[in-house]
């Protein structure tokens, strides 16, 4: 739910990009086609990836050391709980252009920022990556498509600036309030309709 909320919030803040997503949804998405149709929506998928980059589902992964180790001059004894946060790279200028800005275009050609597997770690890395990532993507994008296809939304407070908190997961400090401006027909292809 948080992932879907963050994604819709950011799309509503970027109406031009929302237009591109709506055009894809109107042209390609039907519930009957499901995941097959979702694979053919690069703008929607880029918005999903950028949402995961900006708002990691799990801020850190807990591990217990199996042996005494030295990392960066620090001794970590066997049995010590450590937290691994692969998402730190999501906010580094050396990996992402203007990393504090929501920009789905970074996941589209020609940029492909984060195409390197180790840079984009929304579901962890290596053998410890979450095996449900495809399921999460399918469910989240299906819900986003269903919502955006049926209604035209707007932020209830256009000046709202999100501040995050840990609850223990990342969440908005204040609720994101939306309003339904109008129903959209399945054939609608514009945010303004």
The percent helix, strand, coil of the chain (3-state, each to 5) is 40, 15, 45
pTM of the model: 0.85
Positions of the chain with pLDDT under 50? 188-193
**What b-and-e string marks burial along 69-92, b requiring 16 or more CB atoms within 10 Å of the CB?**
eeeeeeeeeeeeeeeeebbebbee
Q: What is the pLDDT of residues 33-87, one digit of tens each?
A: 878 899 999 999 999 999 999 998 887 878 889 999 998 899 999 999 988 887 7
């Amino acid at each position: 739910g948080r992932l879907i909320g963050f994604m819709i919030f950011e799309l509503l803040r970027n109406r031009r990009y929302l237009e591109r997503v709506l055009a894809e949804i109107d042209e390609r998405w039907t519930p009957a086609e499901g995941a097959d149709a979702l694979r053919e929506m690069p703008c929607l998928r880029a918005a999903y990836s950028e949402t995961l980059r900006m708002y990691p589902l799990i801020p850190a992964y807990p591990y217990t050391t199996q042996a005494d180790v030295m990392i960066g001059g620090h001794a970590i004894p066997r049995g010590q709980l450590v937290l691994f946060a692969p998402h730190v790279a999501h906010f580094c200028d050396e990996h992402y252009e203007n990393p504090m800005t929501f920009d789905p275009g970074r996941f589209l050609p020609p940029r492909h920022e984060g195409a390197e597997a180790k840079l984009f770690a929304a579901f962890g890395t290596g053998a410890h990556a979450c095996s449900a990532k495809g399921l999460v993507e399918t469910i989240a994008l299906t819900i986003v498509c269903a919502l955006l296809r049926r209604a035209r939304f707007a932020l209830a407070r256009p000046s709202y600036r999100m501040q995050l908190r840990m609850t223990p997961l990342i969440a908005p400090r204040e609720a994101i309030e939306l309003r339904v401006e109008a129903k959209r027909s399945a054939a609608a292809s514009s945010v303004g309709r």
